[in-house]
Structure 1
Amino acid sequence: MKYLKNLSILTILFAFITACKVSKKSTSIDYTIAYTAKESGNVDIYLADQEGKSKIKLTTHENRDGYPAWSPDGKRIAFYAYYDGRKTWSIHTMNADGTNRKRLTHTKNMWDNSPTWSPDGKKIVFARAYRNTEGVWTEEIWIMNADGSEQKQIKPLNGGGPYFTKNGKIVFHSKSNTSEICIANIDGSNLTKLTNNEAEDWHPEVSPDGKQVAFMSTRDGKKEIYVMDIDGSNQKRLTANEGDKWYPSWSPDGSKIIFASEKRIYMMNKDGSSIKKIIENGSQPAWLKISH
């Protein structure tokens, strides 16, 4: 009888522990969308679940933090921050919980922005903007190791908003008379223009399967979200609502796109249908590309 009694107690304890584990798992939140918001005086980086119902604040820097970009494994986030009264913008990384913040670029009077990770997480490519000695506004594409070492310009690429493709190429918006979406090898060779019109095209992001590019364009009068195939074909407008649209970012499975408009963040299907607001106050969204 004593043996059966002890066995019953152990069975109850095991069931209780198992229930606790299941309960904990069922109430856990997947914070998969990084974004910026101004809620307490400064612009900081936040995380939210894909429905925008829960959020956490990651940064508390005295100046602006912005343009978050997830590492491929979801463990780190790259971003930029202001210094010297906004005269200097520097690229940083931090853990996904906001700890272990590291400043990677330190060049004064340069606007380092738009960081993105290579597919293997070993490199970070970013844009650098500044006025040259003749006062001309200049935009360059730079690359470095993920720890900030071996920083170098990718010549002859000029522009911003770089993003890696699955096979290690770079898409970005070039800057000449107008901004056009281009693609090039990581060493700057084989530069190919994907868009070609009199409007401005910016901020490309490649779909997780590597087959499409989402981007912003003013070709229809306002800033709207478009998609095209990776070779520049089949360009299609997705949005047509009031207000400018910015910063498209794909879901992990490529079925949805989030974007910012009027300091709010919206989600839609990749064909532009079923648009809904998910975050009331936010911009510069970046969707983690790992499915949970």
Structure 2
Amino acid sequence: MSGRNEGKELIIKPKSDSVFYIIDLEGKVLSTLNTGLPYSGDPLFVNGGKQVVFRGGQTKSKLIEGFKEELYIIDEDGKNKKQLTQYPPMDTTAGKFGYKAGTPKLHPTENYITYQSKQNGKYSLYAVSLDGQKHWKLTENKENEGWHDWSPDGKWLAIELFDNDQTQFHIGLMNWETQELKILTDSTYQYQQSPSFVLKK
């Protein structure tokens, strides 16, 4: 899910539906957003909440051939849908179930989208501009990279890191200016995933 209007409105993906719901903090459905795709997930408000970036698929599930997962952007009223990413057509290393375009995150100050993607046999973080014109590999860590989050000022990047066999997951914190990476976790737990920044009062 994602928030707008100072957190007073949320966009969510109900499990039993193929559209997004925009709700208030009481759970009241304010509006719905139909992307026109068989599968839509991981909605993210961008451009002040006027548009939404999301993961889309050409079939209802990865279990069905032709899923073709990519990131899209669409207006809040369901108009002007545009595909942002293009997975390399000759790369088969993600297989059927690996992320080709994972959950999108918005860099809070530079306004580009970051996401995980398994390419050339390794999960890495990639980026795409909101107009879809610029694509680049975001980081060069040796470990596989997955779910991640940006600090509100855009100066820090928290990353889920894991080995090829997925036997150990760690959370790393990267100084975005210096690219210095520090591992925050130990091996007490095998799974340490999906980091999120929170504001401390």
**TM-score, normalised via structure 1 length:** 0.51
Is 1:173–2:79 an aligned residue pair? no
Q: Decide whether the 8 Å contact of 1:166 with 1:210 is kept in 2.
A: no
2:29 to 150, 162, 168: 150
Q: Decide whether the 8 Å contact of 2:85 with 2:128 is kept in 1.
A: no
Q: Decide whether the 8 Å contact of 1:170 with 1:185 is kept in 2.
A: yes
Is 1:128–2:34 an aligned residue pair? no
Distance change >3 Å, CA 272–CA 174, structure 1 → 2: farther
1:191 to 81, 97, 109: 81
Which structure: greater helix fraction?
1
Q: Decide whether the 8 Å contact of 1:224 with 1:239 is kept in 2.
A: yes
Q: Decide whether the 8 Å contact of 1:239 with 1:272 is kept in 2.
A: no
Computing the radius of gyration from Cα coordinates, the structure with the larger value is 1
Amino acid in the other structure paired with 2:181: I
Distance change >3 Å, CA 145–CA 248, structure 1 → 2: same
Amino acid in the other structure paired with 2:40: G
Cα displacement (A) at 1:153? 3.8
Match of 1:133 in 2: none
Match of 1:246 in 2: 146
Match of 1:216 in 2: 116
Structure 2 unpaired stretches of 5+: 59-66, 92-99, 163-168
Distance change >3 Å, CA 186–CA 228, structure 1 → 2: same
Is 1:279–2:185 an aligned residue pair? yes
Size of the aligned set, in residue pairs, is 170
Q: Decide whether the 8 Å contact of 2:21 with 2:29 is kept in 1.
A: no
Which structure: greater strand fraction?
1
How many Å separate the matches in 2 of 1:234 and 1:181?
14
- Counterpart secondary structure, 1:216: strand
Amino acid in the other structure paired with 1:194: L
Q: Decide whether the 8 Å contact of 2:35 with 2:74 is kept in 1.
A: no
Cα displacement (A) at 1:260? 0.9
Distance change >3 Å, CA 243–CA 211, structure 1 → 2: same
How many Å separate the matches in 1 of 2:48 and 2:170?
32
Amino acid in the other structure paired with 2:179: S
Distance change >3 Å, CA 286–CA 259, structure 1 → 2: same
How many Å separate the matches in 1 of 2:184 and 2:31?
38
- Counterpart secondary structure, 1:203: coil
Distance change >3 Å, CA 253–CA 120, structure 1 → 2: same
Q: Decide whether the 8 Å contact of 2:73 with 2:83 is kept in 1.
A: yes
Cα displacement (A) at 1:162? 1.2
Match of 1:74 in 2: none
Higher relative contact order (CA 8 A, sep 6+): 1
**TM-score, normalised via structure 2 length:** 0.72
Distance change >3 Å, CA 272–CA 218, structure 1 → 2: farther
- 4+ residue stretches of structure 1 with deviation over 6 A? none
CA RMSD of aligned residues (A): 2.6
